[in-house]
Amino acid sequence: MKFSFRPVEGAFYELFTKAAQNLVRGTELLNELALPGVDVQSVSERLTEVEHDSDQITHQLYKKINSTFITPFDREDIYRLGSGLDDIMDHLEAVGNLLYLYGLTKLPSLPREMHELIAVLDAQAKLTADAMPRLRAMKNLEDYWIECNRLENDGDRAYRMLLVRLFSGEYDALTVLKMKEVADELEAACDAFEHVANTIETIAVKES
């Protein structure tokens, strides 16, 4: 029987779970952008509120790291995981803000590939939120990081096809520049989800 001197400190896992749940809220808000007659300013403002809440969770996590003598697993990994979750939320907020500030939702429609990227992010967010409660027991996590990496590959394909469309001549040069910036944030969010999955895989291997 394996014995560990590490405590079962619930606060860390609760903070990770809350941060992941915020990511689901973030991708759900981005999905609203596909709805007819959507209030884009409202979506952008609500994304900012969720991002601020995530910042508070991250600050609580860092404070907990500094005030806890023995952590459930390596401090560096706790920091890396918390920082990774926060990075994803930053990218999601940037997508909503840029779409609003650049007025891109005034176009007849956003590129299909952009919605495909958002759908990938939504799937990654739900997968991540579902996996976080299992982090406490370090069990049944392998399917999570495998599927998250597979989704990241789907996101890469959608991103490349979006770039093909942006540079096809369908849009004027200024619109292309604006949408390229949004596309880069979407792709960065997909990558950040994969980085979180890789971090959890590393933690699971160390703790096994």
Mean pLDDT by 10 residues, the chain (208 residues): 49 93 97 84 95 96 84 85 97 95 87 94 97 88 95 97 96 96 97 96 86
Please state the separation of Cα 187 from the chain's center in Å: 10
Structure tokens at 45: 């403002």
Q: How far is CA 193 from CA 42, 61, 92, 99, 119, in A?
A: 25, 19, 11, 21, 13
Range 25-60 burial, b when 16+ CB lie within 10 A, else e: bbbebbbebeeeeeebeebbebbeebbebbeebbeb
Residues 6+ apart with CB under 8 A from 191: 152
Tokens standing for residue 167: 């540079």
Q: Are 86 and 58 in contact (CB under 8 A)?
A: yes
Q: CB of 138 within 8 A of CB of 205?
A: no
Please, what is the end-to-end C-alpha distance for the chain in angstroms?
Answer: 12
Residue with tokens 């991540």, as numbered in its chain: 128
pLDDT at 137: 83
